[in-house]
Structure 1
């Protein structure tokens, strides 16, 4: 069965999609879903992008099934490692995404992160921070949206250029492979242009020993659930990565 392994419902600050809406959308498409609410401890706005994990399980545990699993998206920051690690260790998540949303405690979403900085500087530090966090966090199953920075960077060419950035990207991929992480293929901005730039990144991950890919829409709306899964599966197959989803922290092959 195919699974959309990355989506957000009302426990995420920026999502209004209910669990029922997500489940209904998935059922209509004949796929499974993993709910992965945002947890960005240390977010500068009070009570934003954090949620009550106990309440999350209280409300959603009864809905958990073979086709609807419970996960979390952890925003990895070195300064917030310990409280985030405690959450990962103490709760029975099926699946944990480790993502980089902040670099040196600066929000990548904000224009100020890029101000008076060349692309090589911001992207280089982004990947350096990613490698540092992978080495610190335990219990992560997949590295989320490696191209997240491309969503918000103000440069004319926002895409990851592996040939020019390999000195920063290879340590990320090597560390992820050593830790037996999957690499997420995030379909939110997956198109012919982004596939062209991401293909060498995923191929290099496989060359360095990476085995698995997870696939997620990063959806916040019912109409986006399951978006682009076929294209992502084709990309995983093209570079020799096995598409999987996680249940009880264990990878299961997607067919």
Structure 2
């Protein structure tokens, strides 16, 4: 069964991929189950109803009512051809947790990805966060923020692209050993909390010479008893949808995992690799 559990549409501010076209393309590819995970990043983006949302200089979060309405329509329309799951990607910071608590309570989620895209409202992709810091400091601050968030927020399913910061610093360097202690603490905590991680196949298009998260992190997760794992393309356009899903399943099996997961109503469903 082919599934993609990290998919963006034109409800994310960094994509113009129509939601229905995503569904049609997924069906064409033979994808059996797909979860939409459009971006929400409080602290650096505004909700559509917020003051200042009409200023084109401001970036916006998902238009939640429109997103849910279109999802519900497509889920019913294409139910005989594909299983669609409702999700979002929560770009959380410690200070924005209360807003995400409110958002989570407002909709019937199947799946939520927890991401760290910025710290202290400083974006990684713009380079603001990295400015004036060594790579070692970037990793340390990133992982400490992630640990703080997972200890204080619990309404999510999996950690997205766990070592994301590698995408924005030296991609060639594997910093696993330098950060193994805090990575172990993060993974032990989320395992005890009943949460999982994802394999994010965008590492290929970002030309990272490893998986995301790294194979070392995946091995550590398994060694610590982690079993909940999803696979997602992190797609924003047609040629990214479903990319490298099959290769990732083979890799997980080689690393000793026995299952991958999909989700329904925030509960993992295990499938043999």
Map 1:106-185 onto structure 2 (within 5 A): 106-153=122-169, 155=170, 157-185=171-199
Report which stretch shifted further, 140-149 or 184-193.
184-193
The offset of 1:175, in angstroms, is 1.4
Q: Which of residues 100, 117, 122 in structure 1 aligns to 2:116?
A: 100
- Aligned partners of 1:89 and 1:230: how far apart in 2? 34
Q: Secondary structure at the match of 1:112?
A: coil
Q: Count how many residue pairs are aligned between Structure 1 and Structure 2.
A: 253
Shift of 1:179: 1.3
| 1:52-91 equivalences in 2 (<5 Å) | 52-64=63-75, 65=79, 67-91=83-107
| TM value normalised by structure 1 | 0.92
Structure 2: which 5+ residue stretches go unaligned? 47-52
**1:149 Cα deviation from its structure 2 partner:** 1.2
CA shift for structure 1 position 205: 0.9
In structure 1, runs of 5+ residues without a counterpart are none
TM-score (norm 2): 0.86
Which residue number in structure 1 is paired with residue 271 of structure 2? 254
Separation in structure 2 between the aligned mates of residue 58 and residue 192 of structure 1, nearest angstrom: 37
| Counterparts in 2 of 1:248 and 1:207: CA distance versus 1, 3 Å | same
Higher helix share: 1
**Aligned-pair CA distance for 1:216:** 0.4
Instruction: State the Cα deviation string for residues 23-49 of structure 1 (Å, max 9, x = none).
Output: 122111111211111011111575524
Instruction: Provide the alpha-carbon RMSD of the alignment.
Output: 2.0
Offset, 1:197? 7.7
- Aligned-pair distance for 1:192? 8.1
